[in-house]
Amino acid sequence: MLATKLINVGDIQTVDVDTPQPKRGDIVVKVEAAGICGTDRHLFKGEFPSFANTVLGHEFSGIVVDAGSSKLEIGTRVTCDPNTWCGACDQCRKGRVNLCVNNIATGIARDGGFAEYCAFPAHKAHVLPPDLNPLYGAFCEPLACTIHGMDIGDARAGERVIVIGGGVIGLLAIQLAKLAGAQVMLLTRNQDKQQLGQSLSADFAASTPQEALERWPDGADLVVECAGVEATVKMSPSITRTGGRIVILGVLPQGTQVSIEPFDLLFREIQMHYSFLNPFTHERASKMIANGVVNVAPLITREISLNDVAQVIATEASNGEVRAIAVP
């Protein structure tokens, strides 16, 4: 079968490989859709911990073709929660499973969804409706990560929320903040993404922090950084109101350092949080997508084949791209 493998940092190829054979506890799915995430580009560049000779793809869904010893039926559509916690380390015993030191992530530490077929642990499969658009299942993982970040941020009815970044995570965060009853502003320089964000329920859009503060001079109660850019992390406190909260959802390259003024955070008692992965949120995400609570259709910029995946990952996303979806 065809699969896109990270041969090593800076070397990604779509090659012929053996169809995966399930290990004990695994299922095998025929992959229907797999999203290309910014993390895939970080892996390619060596900016995120990676494993050589691994099939990438951690945002995917498919149809069960081998149920192994599980109770799933052949033909069931499922989405994969890629993170497999050990359950035994100190962090797992505290319930902080996303910080598991032994986590094995499908599509990063074991072969993932940029392939015709993928094997992964059966208990990490979440059932999707048979009539759901197959492409939508690829958004369950990014939505699960966004839900975790928004849980940390705890947006409340009547609050003001600024979401920085008009990519997939930002556009999902907008919708979650609106569902919480907040007033939402999208901050991005991209005019097309501003329009998309407003069509997805953002009340306002701004191109610069100065423009955001013209509308909300005191800043936002919650700022959600989804761009993963040094400059936007650095300026987040400047658009946060006194006593407010910041959640960093964007992934910056490993080793990047950002200058923050601790006195400002102290004097205005601004809470700055970070959000990592999707602890216990994948089921919620799959149900929200299955029930149409969150709109993911407008987030699909283009469909590509497996033969295109390596080049797309190795190339910076175009300015207007939200999500490219690989369809094996």
CB 221 within 8 A of CB 160: yes
Report how far apart, in Å, the C-alpha atoms of 295 and of each of 27, 76, 149, 150, 304 are: 29, 23, 18, 17, 21
H/E segment holding residue 242: strand 240-248
Residue 319, pLDDT > 90, answer no
Mean per-residue pLDDT, 152-173: 98
Residue 57, pLDDT > 90, answer yes
Residue 318, pLDDT > 90, answer no
Mean per-residue pLDDT, 200-225: 98
Of the pLDDT bands very low, low, confident and very high (cuts 50, 70, 90), residue 320 is confident
Residue 41, pLDDT > 90, answer yes
Percent of the chain with pLDDT over 70: 100
- In angstroms, the CA 164 to CA 214 distance is 16
- In angstroms, the CA 170 to CA 187 distance is 9
The pLDDT, as a whole number, for residue 183 is 98
Residue 231, pLDDT > 90, answer yes
Total-model pTM: 0.97
- In angstroms, the CA 167 to CA 169 distance is 6
| Residue 168 one-letter amino acid | V
Q: Helices marked H in 200-300 — which ranges?
A: 209-215, 230-235, 262-267, 282-290
Mean per-residue pLDDT, 66-70: 96
Residues 6 or more apart whose CB falls under 8 angstroms from that of 93 comprise none
Report how far apart, in Å, the C-alpha atoms of 278 and of each of 136, 144, 152 are: 18, 5, 12
Q: How far is CA 247 from the centre of its chain?
A: 14
Half-sphere exposure of 136 (CA within 13 A, CB side): 22
Mean per-residue pLDDT, 272-295: 98
Of the pLDDT bands very low, low, confident and very high (cuts 50, 70, 90), residue 33 is very high
97-101, 133-137, 173-177, 314-318: the lowest-pLDDT one: 314-318
Domains and CATH numbers, the chain: 2-127+296-326 (3.90.180.10), 144-274 (3.40.50.720)
Q: What is the pLDDT of residues 89-141, one digit of tens each?
A: 999 999 999 999 999 999 999 999 999 999 999 999 999 999 999 999 999 99
